[in-house]
Structure 1
Amino acid sequence: MKKTSFSDFNVRLAGFLVLSALLWGCAIDSGDIEHWKRTQKGPAKILRVMEGERFPMELRAQAALAMVEMERTDLSALHELNLAFRRLESQSPEAAKEIVSRIAPELSRMMAAAGDPKEMPEPLSIRAKDAAFRLQAFADEELRLQLIADIIDFYAVDFASRSLLGDVSAEQVVRELGDPAANRLIEAMDAKMPPDALAKLAELIGEEGSDETKAKAGERLIAIEREMESKEFLEWLKEEFRKSQADREGELDEARVDSVATLNRERFIAQGALTGMRRLSDSPVVAERLLTIALAKPPADAPEIVAQIAHEKRETALLALENRAKPEHLDRLLQIALDSDDSLIVRDHAFDRIAETGSKAAIPHMWPLVTTTSTDDILKRLRWRAGELVLVLGGSSILQEFLSKLPQGARVEYEPEELEGYAARLSVATDPPDDAIRQIARSGGHWVRHVIAAYYLERRGTDEDRALLERLSNDRTATVGDGWTKRDPVLRTVGDVARGSLARLDERLKGDSKGDDSDS
């Protein structure tokens, strides 16, 4: 008998294994894929088929889709699918791209099947959305953009109830996919969606969208805000309220229906459209709309509730312009801020926006308020508001002119908060007037100047400035205003103020010294 060598045996074994593998590959069909979806080791076999070059592309695509279709709790099928695609892309990018192109229409169909806003999507539709999010990265650009659109459309059917469905939220999708997703979100914006959902859409678009996308979203928000103001929208709100009261006994009072619908409309506008505009107010068209709303002062004879609603809307509009006000907005902001018949809160917001313009052209308009000698609390507060604005815009260079404008009559009242406010503004100026303040502390003059100097030095003074505050501590000039005697301790004189400032300066310097010791 002829003996078989060990090397011959190895050759025959290798041949047998190759033949077995080929026969195994040829024997696998769609029925096997379907069966493996339900077996313990099936997912691994399915992924081997998807990654295997020897299998027909049609079968490989079916294998990929099977990972989306399977309902398993013992593993994350989509995570494993994503890892498999990464391996495949590293070996054969074209194969990965072709498989995605073959299954993309079915993923889109699954997502679109959840098109009824009245029903929650089926689990398969949610998994298709999550799979599309993972696999869009392996598609060509045209297909990638289509998948992004389909993903966002899935959320857009009912953004409020769908935004958190699945493995990835709408926010994660937009932040990952950027402008294409943000742009598609514009179509999801709707006047009748919950206000907080509308504001969230605007936030995502404002943070992830391109300038072009943000401008487009701004125009859409303006259209939505105008729709909310319409009679048709109010009627829709009335009908929604009636539906909510369907189980209530007796007839509804139509006056109550009107009242509830009107208040709800203002909530939709303020919390939805205007809050959304805040995220997009870099857009000139949005800024213009916000200014138009802010300028819409109610008639003097308007009912109290109407006036209140209008002022709240104007406040929200001005808040939406925060950090976005520009010099070209100045004239209209001044119109609001200087209107003595307007709401004080609205005027406050206008002052804030004027400061943000950085325009020194506002300063001359402030002097009439700064020079007021009235004892009226509102007018004193407006003097303080205007004074701080002058210092914000003018900085150290305006200090002497500012002090010369402050009224210095014996009976002119100032509150502690006003003078502290001036000192605080000066202390954080880009060019703090340290030397000018020291000169004021050394020289004679109105008590207001010395109090401002004391408050300033407690914030920016050095050890050498203690002598200046000690000198001011001997000043017995009376403070004039209601608030000085309400402080603890009572501040009846400039000296009382200076002693308090000296104590706070010492405390600050000790803190600085401890910090230096710890650093060393």
Structure 2
Amino acid sequence: MSAATALCGGCEQPTHDNIDHWLRTARGPDKLREALADSTLAADLRAHAAQNLIARNELADVVATFEAMAGPERASVLAVLAPRLWADARISGALTKPTAEQTEAKDALFELRRFAEAAECELIDGYLIDWLTGGYYVGRARAGRVLGPTILRAVGPAASPKMQTAVAAVVDAPARADGSRLAIEGELLVGLAATGSPEAVGYLLELVDRGDRDPELPQRAMRALYTAFVDPGQRFPPAPGQALVPHLGALSARALDRDLSTAMQDDLIALIAAAGPPGCITALVPLVGARRQPEMVRWVSANAALRCGRAQALVPVAEALPPQAEYDAGKLAGVIWEPMEALAEPEVVAAQARLLLGSESWVARVIGVELLGRVAAPGSAAEDAQRVRALGRDRTVLRGWWGDQRDLPRAQRRPLPRLGDRARDVADRLDRLAKSRRKT
């Protein structure tokens, strides 16, 4: 064999020197892909090949190859690749703007973390947390294909301590010589909320009381929680409502504050609902029954309680509605009856509605009557007709039943029905349903 042939043959072998050399040759990418896919090679050589493919913006090929690997094989390569990618991703200065190469390596760490076993995943998550929190968060969070909140939502509560430190560094920074302060950007707060930890929720709720630091901070902190737990859009899945549960008392108490803006009250109600049952029901019912709150807060709270608690919330919500108020049948339908019908659980809803027929509250009684008429099942219609007809002598006037009629001429105003009138109408309907079943 000639010296030239031997030299050429050496150029084809996947050594570390050759893997770096292939970055700059025409056939290099193919050779890198072959090296990564070669299960006979040492893990460090395969990881080096993957690192160089990623440097060439060929992450998709790396991911495809990882998908084809067996589990142990994948783990051995990734254990070497992760530190190599971190070396490429790491940013030297806190205020240094990430380069394209650093950003690509960061994105690769995130994309490959789904292949990682527990130990490697924890290592990768630590790298990602440090990348985002080691400097100006917003600038780093916007860099690359995978944005900061998406990463933090995937990493979860493990990212909360360093993200909270990053937020506190801005919130607590002293004023400059001219009296100005560092801006507390909403994106930073959303990043903290996206970690989905109870501690992050608690800290952001503390910031709701920091209007002295920035008049916009309370609204911004609340909006960050709403974004992370209720409506993150397409950026990431909502954070788990379990993190809200320890704070339900505080959320409910804040929502009762009449000085809050409507937007903040709406966000608070939505956050309580996101916590899930049974806590959301317990926290929302006081808002339903609060007499000094605007009527809209009552309706929004009632609907939110039914959405989060489903049929389980029907009795508490109906009993909480103040009997001193007036109730429009159209609003009751939109807020209570129709959502209960939409559950497609007629037997469960009917069982709860029957409990309301004996309530001391006329509002609860009429809700039970109307619901039994709406979710009627032929098999129980006859028995429910008897139950409802027992209220036929109830002379309670259904105040507000037809809505506000004050602007109508007196001749066009519809007379207000009594609860007994509605009970007889619904009972007749149930009897007809029962008879139609017997005929068939």
Same fold (TM over 0.5): yes
Distance (Å, rounded) in 2 between the aligned partners of 1:129 and 1:391: 46
Query: Are 2:59 and 2:108, in contact at CA under 8 Å, matched by a contact in 1?
Result: no
Query: Are 2:255 and 2:265, in contact at CA under 8 Å, matched by a contact in 1?
Result: yes
Query: Are 1:133 and 1:148, in contact at CA under 8 Å, matched by a contact in 2?
Result: no
Using the TM superposition, give the Cα deviation of residue 321 of structure 1 relative to its aligned residue in structure 2, in angstroms: 4.6
Distance (Å, rounded) in 2 between the aligned partners of 1:99 and 1:402: 62
* Matching residue of 2:277: 358
Which of 321, 324, 330 in structure 2 is aligned with 1:416? 330
Distance 1:127 1:341, change over 3 A: closer
Query: Are 2:288 and 2:317, in contact at CA under 8 Å, matched by a contact in 1?
Result: no
Distance 1:341 1:362, change over 3 A: farther
Distance (Å, rounded) in 2 between the aligned partners of 1:154 and 1:321: 33
Which of 240, 257, 261 in structure 2 is aligned with 1:339? 257
Distance 1:482 1:342, change over 3 A: farther
What percent of counterpart residues are identical? 12
Number of residue pairs matched by the alignment: 383
The one-character-per-residue Cα deviations of 1:304-345 (angstroms, maximum 9, x if unpaired) are xx5344323223235435523444323322331222223333
Q: Which structure's CA Rg is the greater one?
A: 1
* Matching residue of 2:348: 432
Which blocks of at least 5 consecutive residues in structure 2 are unaligned?
Answer: 92-96, 231-240, 407-412, 430-440
344-353 or 390-399: bigger deviation: 390-399
Counterparts in 2 of 1:104-503, with a 5 A limit?
104=48, 126=56, 144-157=78-91, 161-162=100-101, 165=104, 171-177=110-116, 178-189=121-132, 190-194=135-139, 196-197=141-142, 200-207=147-154, 209=155, 214-231=156-173, 265-266=183-184, 269-271=185-187, 273-281=188-196, 283-294=197-208, 296=209, 298=211, 306-322=214-230, 323-355=241-273, 356=275, 358-359=277-278, 363=282, 366-367=285-286, 369-370=288-289, 372=291, 379-388=294-303, 403-409=318-324, 412-414=326-328, 416-424=330-338, 426-427=340-341, 428=343, 432-435=348-351, 437=353, 446=362, 449-450=365-366, 453-454=369-370, 457-458=373-374, 460-462=375-377, 480=400
Using the TM superposition, give the Cα deviation of residue 188 of structure 1 relative to its aligned residue in structure 2, in angstroms: 0.9
Using the TM superposition, give the Cα deviation of residue 66 of structure 1 relative to its aligned residue in structure 2, in angstroms: 3.6
Query: Are 2:210 and 2:217, in contact at CA under 8 Å, matched by a contact in 1?
Result: no
285-294 or 169-178: bigger deviation: 169-178
SS of the equivalent of 1:289 reads helix
Distance 1:218 1:99, change over 3 A: closer
For residue 226 of structure 1, what is the amino acid of its counterpart? A
* Matching residue of 2:436: none
Distance (Å, rounded) in 2 between the aligned partners of 1:321 and 1:389: 15
Distance 1:443 1:413, change over 3 A: closer
Distance 1:160 1:291, change over 3 A: farther
Q: Report which structure shows greater RCO (CA 8 Å, sep ≥6).
A: 2
Distance 1:336 1:367, change over 3 A: closer
Distance (Å, rounded) in 2 between the aligned partners of 1:387 and 1:288: 25
Which blocks of at least 5 consecutive residues in structure 1 are unaligned?
Answer: 1-22, 35-45, 51-59, 112-122, 236-253, 506-520
Distance (Å, rounded) in 1 between the aligned partners of 2:210 and 2:203: 14
Using the TM superposition, give the Cα deviation of residue 298 of structure 1 relative to its aligned residue in structure 2, in angstroms: 3.0
Using the TM superposition, give the Cα deviation of residue 222 of structure 1 relative to its aligned residue in structure 2, in angstroms: 0.9
Counterparts in 2 of 1:53-132, with a 5 A limit?
62-71=17-26, 77-84=28-35, 86=37, 88-89=38-39, 93=40, 96-97=41-42, 100=45, 104=48, 126=56
SS of the equivalent of 1:180 reads helix
CA-based RMSD of the aligned residues comes to: 5.6
Using the TM superposition, give the Cα deviation of residue 280 of structure 1 relative to its aligned residue in structure 2, in angstroms: 1.3
For residue 123 of structure 2, what is the amino acid of its counterpart? P
Distance (Å, rounded) in 2 between the aligned partners of 1:443 and 1:362: 19
For residue 437 of structure 1, what is the amino acid of its counterpart? A
Using the TM superposition, give the Cα deviation of residue 434 of structure 1 relative to its aligned residue in structure 2, in angstroms: 0.6
